[in-house]
Structure 1
Amino acid sequence: MEESPCNLLSVKIIQIKNLQKADLFHQSSCYVSLFLPTASFQKFQTQAIKDCKHPQWNETFCFRIQPCVKNVLEMTVHDDSNYFKAGHLLTVLFDVSKIQLGEIICLTFPLDPKIQEELDVEFRLESLPIPPERIVTNGVLVSPEISCLEVQMSERKTKKKSTDRNLIFTVPGSYEETQNRSLASGLHPANPVVFHYIKYKESALEIESKSCAAGSNACSPPPPKPPPMSLPPSGLGSHGAAEQSTSAELALDNVMKLTVNVKDWPNDLDVRLGYDLCVEEQMFIQKRKKIVAAALKKCLHLETDLQEPEVPVVAIMATGGGARAFTALHGHLFALQKQNLLDCFTYITGSSGSTWTLSNLYENANWSHQELSREIAEARKNVIKCKLSLLSLKNLEEYSRALEQRQKEGLKTFVTDIWGLFIDKAFGSGKCNSTLSGQKRALTQGQNPLPIYMVLNTRDKYSLEEFKEWMEFTPFETGVIKYGAYIRSEDFGSKFFMGRMMKKIPESKICFMKGIWSNVFSYNLLDSSHACDTCGENIWHKRTWDSVTDIEANPLQPPRPHELNTRLIVPDCKSTQLLRKVITERITTSKIYNFLKGFQLHNGYLDNKNFALWKDTVLATFPNELTATSENLSLTDTAAYIDTSYPPLMRPERKVDVILHLNYSTGSQTAPLEEASRYFLKQGIPFPRIDLSNLKERDLKECYVFEDAKSSRAPIVVFFPLVNDTFRKYKAPGVQRSPSEMKYGEVDVTGPHSPYAIQHLQYTAENFDKLVELTSYNIQNNKYLILQALQRATERKKWQKR
């Protein structure tokens, strides 16, 4: 919680010099609009001046701003006569933090150096004599104070009778936005109309009345429409009063009275702002470390017990891969259990197909301490059964009823919901009665590793190369890593505003979460072009994207670290914009209510070291375009970018020392690890430098160990590609196959005719058994490499302690 004063920003649009022509024969019909979304929901504009090469306005606009918020003013030059420029010529994005308190400065923005086109603007920043605002921030996101406005309707004591009418109440930018009230004669609702809005933002209550049409004479002309009534921001108690009550009479027929009450809304947030681990996870780690310490002592044959600072954090990282990942992960976990290694792990992460396995396992609160053969037998039964019966009319009707129930609960429904129901019936119990938060039962005593599920938050009009945000799900919390913002898992899908939960919606069942976590159907054409050819993606991006140029009105004064460069955006023609929309369209993303809605970016968010680790989007320096402005989250499978679930393990707070990489991806077995290595090194996140480009797929071994000898902060990676190497000749470590058993070693996991291809959702019993045996064997045959990594990590922890 911080206190932040309010300032008044005055912007005077003076003139444009040497304005470009609309076409060869006509001068532009020009006006300038101003939009500062962190201060007002309203767009302001100057008067339009026609046929003028040097239009002058000298019009001033005022905004009340918070200096701790990143305020970026959008000044757009419009020309309604130019059809091919989409209604405006260009936009200047100006970081208001460049203006110092008490300063009056006139800046000239170069719009087109070729013709010396320039925009002259005067800025003035002064303090406001009102109490400072109490904000909540983690250095990246800012939650301002919220006011609650209540409008109570009542009848005045008058002989005149009220008529039927419909009242429309609007507070722009509020959570409720617009509400309707239909009032019958002599009857008025007892419950007030309620709005929640940012206390210090320019908001106004607008009231419009419409007479009801029922019972009116069709031949008679409609009564004149009464003018709307507006209560200005000063009437909403937005100047710092702790609580204010005002009343106003609606001037329609002098029978209706409206009483407006404004009070502060509590500052307690339902969104946790912080990059540290939640309390529940910290408590889990304390319990889990005791189990890990005992397991390490046993498997490493240590003479003394490990002290808490000496216990390394070890994790399993599983990729996606459909039914192949679902099956192979069972085999890997079974081998780790048989080798008494499963208790050495604190975390296990998954994406896409591997989440199907984890979801099933964590329905058993003690799964890692019970024989996994029962779970494997159940998985075998599900994999070999025919999936076509799941699309029968009876099942389709069941899916339809489930979607109708979700709609009744207030949730949106998408194709991914049907996909999740299908997956649950195909590879799970099909009962769809468990939840993610219900998996806490499997963590109460630290008896199992903590599961973490991964997805990407995407954005319309952008490829994944241009915009993506890593999002993690645990039984405790769900959050977007970049912003350090988390909510309880049971609250995922509920409606939030400025960090407060406004409407609780029942938690989604795990079957629907499976559809979200394995949504592999959301590629757009721009993603596909990047996947096929990196150069191709860049060409399409350049051909369909608006021109963005850094300009500085005062180049002699370099920007300070937290200041954004002034940018000039020139839109492309309408046909190119339409093409951009087509190639970036995603039809099947899961749209979930955005729990970050309304948050503002802190003025120093770019300097925050936690945000800097994950700012890998072209919009990182465009705060008005980041996720907090979106109505929904658009979630897709991580495989659409990199088939990995590494990011939660790379959070510095988790301090992961060893990662067991279990790879099930389609195509190249080494590409996901190499791409992850390049990505983390680019982001400045400690990770071993990995280059396996010299290795051919057919020459891959069962296990590789990578370590950055220069950095103890980088995890040791034990990499298990999905290959069939020595298993061809050995049925168990050191036990060769007889000539009659050689056929059981022929397991084609990566060939073009492999029965384990990504599109295959059904295996024969023999193929299922072979894949489980292969993955189990690969772990057992390379146990010594895993132990070496654990030994090395334990030594590093002891050295760090000393």
Structure 2
Amino acid sequence: MHFIKERQSVIQDALRRHNILGPEKDVPRVVVLGSGGGQRAHIGFLGVLQQLGKEDLLDCMLYVAGVSGSTWCMSSLYQDPQWTQHAEEATNKALLSMSEGVGVTFHDGVQWMRQRYAEGDFSLSDVWGVLTCRIKGVSLETRPLMDEKDENGTNPYPLYSAMEKHCFKEKLRKEIWFEFSPHEVGFLEPGTYVDTSQLKKDFERGIVKPVQPVQRKPIDMVQLQGICGCAMGDLVEIRKYMKNALWHWIHSISPVKETGVNPGKIAFILADLMENYADIKHSLYELERLKGTVAPLHSRRLIGDFSLSLKGLEQETWRNMTDRERKELVETISDELIASIDKWGHNHSQVNGLAGDGWLGDVWWVMRHVMPLFIDWNFGTVANFLYNFQDDDVPKDMTQEEQMHLIDAGLYLNSPYPSALRAARNTDLIISFDFSEGKPFQTLRVASHYAKINHHPFPTVHFTQLDPKHPKSFYVFEERGKPTVIHIPLFNMDNCKNRATIQMEKMEYSTFSLTDSDIKINHLAKLAAENVKMNRDIILIELEKAVERRKQRK
């Protein structure tokens, strides 16, 4: 690839600035990994990349690979084709947007989702992509992934990871890992790829159909973030979070009282109940209004035809519930109403009149086309370029469906080690920044197992000798003939000083406790940056070792 040759020249110059000398052919291939972890990973990876820039280490890296939350960081930075040349400014801008950014408007988000719906493979990952932009405080990142091509080697080459849902259910299948890059996308095992511009097109037996049934735009960064970061480690939790986020967004548009249109009123009353279920007096008033709004939807239908839970709810029962029970009941009522949405009066002029533009039309569209997706729980729908593909190396069950479903790879391995271990990359050094919420060596353990079952070289890790309760800020694992791995947990005894602080930081920045506080955001970014600053010399030592290993291959 032309990019690699150009990038090797950049790396050689950077190493020379650190007095690490050698010809271009001995330039080591270094991959920086960012793990998953939602907003925590997004902020943490921004802090890491900022400090790598300050230490003049970014130009020593050939690849930057991300999973889940780290892909949020990458998608923001790589919109600038020269971000590494002013990394501090670029990362500060991304950090600031979370606390001060305007973010995507509800109308713009719905318009993008409507376009995706028209393409015929709309799913919840698309919804999550829009919500991700809102969390980041940025407008919709609609540039195509293939626009990140950089033939001049200015930035490290970006690699985004996902996995195929069916293969994940099969557990530990080697075909599980799916990789996105600006040039190609596909399965690392068995090595089946297509040009990035062709993803989402319909294939038959390995050939693009000459006439496409539906015209789909190339994958953009909104859709990519939705696919790569759609689980945040827990499908149950992300489902709850996404629904709550949508209701909260609807509630923020306009007070319920502003609409007298029955279907629209239902949406706003539900959104208000989601926000105010703990206020007994207010929520009882809203429940009665909801009953009064649902009943007239069709003169021949009863409330029970739309929601049995709403029909059977008594005021005294509601008063005696705990807040958690009230919240769960409101969720049940909303699910039942959404499931019965087709009964909301097909010929009702007020329903049909909501199909147009405007905020009320946007809300109705979300009610009609987005909320039902939570019932089917459909994620990451993409045209399967392996459909009816004939190759003995490709399992038959990967070729039988016209669509595949790509989901967050963090559910299996919360760090993109497979991308670094791809044989063609010939990696010398892997620097893994782990922002995971769980045990500090779990990603390392799963990566080691992945390498073993797929016959990739990986240094031996003696896990019994590692103390998960008192993790250090760095670990180096090296073995002759295998890539060296530097493992760096986010919270450790060096930047947190003691175990109690580690636990406190983990609780403060749990995966689903999102924040827009600039103090908390900057604190986390600084903690992550400390892991680079403290270990700068170790990274340089390992870079020099990698050069020497290259020289010895002659």
Q: TM-score, normalised by structure 2?
A: 0.69
Matched, 1:377 2:92: yes
Q: 1:521 to 1:444 in 2, by over 3 A?
A: closer
> CA 1:380–1:589 in structure 2 vs 1: closer, same or farther (change >3 Å)?
same
Larger RCO, structure (CA 8 Å, separation 6 or more)? 2
Identity of aligned residues (%): 27
The within-5 A match list for 1:198-347 is 282-302=1-21, 306-347=22-63
Deviation of 1:508 (Å): 2.8
Judged with a 3 Å threshold, the aligned counterparts in structure 2 of structure 1 residues 588 and 750 are, in CA distance, closer, same or farther, namely farther
Measured against aligned partners, the alpha-carbon deviations of 1:736-788 in whole angstroms (never above 9, x if no partner) come to xxxxxxxxx99955448622100022142222111111111221111121111
Equivalence for 1:675: 446
SS of structure 2 residue aligned to 1:699 = coil
Query: Which residue is equivalent to 1:353?
Result: 69
- Which runs of structure 2 are paired with 1:49-448 in the superposition (5 Å)? 282-302=1-21, 306-370=22-86, 372-384=87-99, 395=106, 397-408=107-118, 410-427=119-136, 429-440=138-149, 443-448=150-155
Give the 3-state SS of the residue equivalent to 1:454 in structure 2: strand
Structure 2 counterpart of 1:706:
477
Q: Distance in 2 between matches of 1:755 and 1:589?
A: 29
C-alpha displacement at 1:298, in angstroms?
1.9
SS, match of residue 455 in structure 1: strand
User: Would the alpha carbon gap of residues 334 and 325 (structure 1) be closer, same or farther in structure 2, given more than 3 Å must change?
Assistant: same
Residue 161 of structure 2 aligns to a residue in which SS? strand
User: 1:697 and 2:408 equivalent?
Assistant: no
Alignment root-mean-square deviation, CA: 2.7
Moved more, 485-494 or 589-598: 485-494
**Number of the residue aligned with 1:544:** none
Distance 1:455 1:631, change over 3 A: same
DSSP-derived class of the 1:482 partner: coil
The structural deviation recorded for 1:378 is 2.5
- Letter paired with 2:117: Q
3-state SS in 2 of match to 1:665: coil
Q: Report which of the two structures shows the higher radius of gyration computed on alpha carbons.
A: 1
Deviation, 1:522, is 9.1
**2:159 alignment partner in structure 1:** 452
Q: Show the counterpart of 2:548.
A: 795
Paired residue secondary structure (1:494): coil
The answer on whether the counterparts of 1:362 and 1:439 sit within 8 Å (CA) in structure 2 is: yes
1:718 aligns with 2:489: no
Cα distance, 1:288 vs. partner?
A: 0.6
1:491 aligns with 2:198: yes
CA drift at 1:461: 9.8
Q: 1:684 Cα shift?
A: 1.8
Letter in 2 for 1:757: S
Q: Distance in 1 between matches of 2:69 and 2:411?
A: 13
The answer to whether the aligner puts 1:630 opposite 2:401 as a matched pair is yes
Distance in 2 between residues matched to 1:691 and 1:588, nearest whole Å = 40
- Please identify which structure carries the higher strand content: 1
Cα drift, residue 724 of structure 1:
3.8
- Given candidates 579, 585, 591, the residue that maps to 2:381 is 591
Query: What is the match of residue 435 of structure 2?
Result: 664
- 1:455-507 deviation digits (Å, cap 9, x = unpaired): 00121893434685211111111111213222221221111112221225211
**1:149-173: per-residue Cα shift (whole Å, max 9, x none)?**
xxxxxxxxxxxxxxxxxxxxxxxxx
Question: Greater shift after overlay, 461-470 or 589-598?
Answer: 461-470
CA pair 754-321 structure 1, distance change in 2 beyond 3 A: same
- Are the aligned partners of 2:31 and 2:430 in contact in 1 as well (CA < 8 Å)? yes
Q: 1:405 to 1:668 in 2, by over 3 A?
A: same
- After TM superposition, give the deviation of residue 292 of structure 1 in Å: 0.8
Q: Which residue of structure 2 aligns with residue 581 of structure 1?
A: none
Cα distance, 1:429 vs. partner?
A: 2.4
| 1:643 CA drift (Å) | 0.7
Deviation at 1:637, TM superposition (A): 0.8
- Tell me if structure 1 keeps the 8 A contact 2:228–2:407: yes
Structure 2 residue aligned with 1:641, among 412, 434, 438?
412
Q: Which amino acid in structure 2 is aligned with residue 719 of structure 1?
A: H
Contact 2:51–2:533 under 8 Å retained in 1: yes
Confirm or deny that 1:510 pairs with 2:282: no
**1:117-174 Cα distance to aligned partner (Å, 9 max, x none):** xxxxxxxxxxxxxxxxxxxxxxxxxxxxxxxxxxxxxxxxxxxxxxxxxxxxxxxxxx
Q: 1:484 to 1:795 in 2, by over 3 A?
A: same
Once residues 586 and 656 of structure 1 are traced to their aligned partners in structure 2, the CA distance between those partners, rounded to angstroms, is: 41
Q: 2 CA distance for matches of 1:595 and 1:355?
A: 23
The normalised TM-score by structure 1 is 0.49
Distance 1:343 1:752 in 2: 31
Amino acid in the other structure paired with 1:633: M
Q: Is the 8 A contact 2:167 2:175 kept in 1?
A: no
* 1:666–1:746 CA distance, 2 compared to 1 (3 A): closer
Residue 416 of structure 1: CA displacement? 1.3
Instruction: Give the one of 177, 180, 187 matched to 1:480.
Output: 187
- What is the rounded CA distance, in whole Å, between the counterparts of 1:756 and 1:749 in structure 2? 11
What SS class does the counterpart of residue 399 from structure 2 fall into? helix
How many residues are aligned here?
A: 412
TM-superposition CA deviations, 1:359-379 (whole Å, max 9, x none): 111110100011x33233323
Please point out which of 495, 498, 506 is paired with 1:727. 495
Counterpart AA for 2:401: S
Post-superposition Cα deviations, 1:606-659, rounded to whole Å, max 9, x if no partner, equal xxxxxxxxxxxxxx8xx433x112221111111111112111221111101001
8 Å CA contact retained: 1:383, 1:761? no
1:482-631, aligned counterparts within 5 Å? 482-502=189-209, 503=212, 505-520=216-231, 587-602=377-392, 605=393, 623-625=395-397, 627-631=398-402
- CA contact 1:724–1:774 (8 Å) conserved in 2: no
Q: What does residue 316 of structure 2 align with?
A: none
Gaps of 5+ in 2: 237-374
Native 8 Å contact 2:174 2:454 kept in 1:
no
